């Protein structure tokens, strides 16, 4: 019985640790694209700050570097740059 409980607790702790790493991994996605601005799902909780450069990876085309101009707790925005028109909601971004 103790062995089963210990195994279960190890499993639960492992799941929690993975969730924490995923939540603070510095990876997110494009949430919304406007003609002049790109919104992403990275924020202060992920280590983002104004002026940070992130790499957006569109599903087609070359990666695009964005410089964050506004940062909230769980989201951020960057001005549109050349090549950014290829970005779509759901594209991956990395801090």
pLDDT digits (tens, 9 = 90+) for 6-37: 434 454 444 344 434 445 579 999 999 999 99
Q: Give the separation between CA 33 and CA 76, rounded to whole angstroms.
A: 12
The pTM is what?
0.72
How does pLDDT run across 42-75, given as a tens digit for each residue? Answer: 999 999 999 999 999 998 888 999 999 999 999 9
Q: Are 87 and 55 in contact (CB under 8 A)?
A: no
Q: Are 68 and 78 in contact (CB under 8 A)?
A: yes
Q: Give the separation between CA 18 and CA 46, rounded to whole angstroms.
A: 15
Backbone angles phi, psi at 93, to 5 degrees: -130, 145
pLDDT at 1: 59
Q: Which residue has the tokens 């103790």?
A: 2
């Amino acid at each position: 019985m103790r062995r089963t409980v210990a195994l279960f607790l190890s499993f639960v702790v492992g799941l929690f640790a993975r969730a924490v790493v995923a939540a603070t991994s510095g990876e997110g996605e494009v949430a919304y694209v406007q003609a002049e601005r790109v919104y992403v799902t990275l924020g202060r909780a992920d280590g983002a700050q104004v002026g940070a450069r992130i790499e957006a990876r569109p599903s087609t085309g070359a990666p695009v570097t964005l410089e964050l101009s506004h940062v909230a707790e769980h989201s951020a925005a960057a001005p549109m740059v050349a090549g950014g028109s290829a970005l779509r909601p759901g594209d991956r971004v990395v801090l």
